[in-house]
Amino acid sequence: MINDPELVRRMAEDPRTRDLGREFIVKTAPYRYSYNFTWMGVPIIQVPQDMIAMQEIIFSVRPELIIETGIAHGGSIIYYASLLELLESAGAAAAGAKVLGIDIDIRPHNRDRIESHPMYERIEMIEGSSIDPEVLARVGRKAAGKQRILVALDSNHTHEHVRKELELYSPFVGKGSYLVVFDTVVEDMPEDAFPDRPWGVGNNPKTAVREFLAASDRFVVDRELESRLLITVAPSGYLKCVMD
pLDDT digits (tens, 9 = 90+) for 144-169: 999 999 999 999 999 999 999 999 99
* pTM, to two decimals: 0.96
Q: Which residue has the higher pLDDT, 212 or 93?
A: 212
Q: Which helix (H) or strand (E) holds 98?
A: strand 98-103
Alpha carbons within 13 angstroms on the beta-carbon side of residue 5 total: 2
Q: Which amino acid is at 89?
A: S
Strand 238-241 to 219-221 pairing: antiparallel
Q: How confident is the model at residue 20 (pLDDT cuts 50, 70, 90)?
A: very high
Q: Is 166 exposed, middle or buried (0-12, 13-18, 19+ CB in 10 A)?
A: buried
Q: How far apart are CA 89 and CA 4, in angstroms?
A: 30
Using alpha carbons only, give the angle 234, 240, 244 rounded to the nearest 5 degrees: 150
| Structural domains of the chain, count | 1
Q: What is the CATH number of the domain that holds 36?
A: 3.40.50.150
Closest to 5 (Cα-Cα) out of 233, 228, 194, 238? 228
Residue-number span of the structural domain to which 174 is assigned: 5-241
